[in-house]
Amino acid sequence: MQILTLEHFAGRLNQAFTVDLGHGKSPFVLVEARPLPAAQMHGMVRAPFSLLFHHASAILFPQRIYQMESPGMGDFGIFLVPVARNQDGFIYQAIFN
């Protein structure tokens, strides 16, 4: 399994990632990718970071691991948590530490 890092996502802002919602696939657009502050600890395999995705739907999806895919990155599971709502849908966050 590949360890995902901020560098995997930083160049993909405003790109859609396809997420399997269990009843079909839907695009989640990456709207933010930023590092998180952390003290370097022995054995860390990556620097912590946060991702925000926007999904244009009136339906709120629960926090859980979703299967996501993107050209050039392949398939991977990502834990998404709904954190905000706007007029166009919901914002979901993934934190990697």
Domain boundaries, the chain: 17-61+71-96
Task: List the one residue out of 47, 85, 34, 94 whose CA is nearest residue 66.
Answer: 94
pTM of the full predicted structure? Answer: 0.91
* 38 or 68, higher pLDDT: 68
The Cα 26–Cα 20 span in angstroms is 7
For 25-46, the pLDDT digits (tens) are 999 999 999 999 876 766 677 8
- pLDDT reported for residue 43: 67
Contact 26, 57 (CB under 8 A): yes
* pLDDT over 90 percentage in the chain: 72
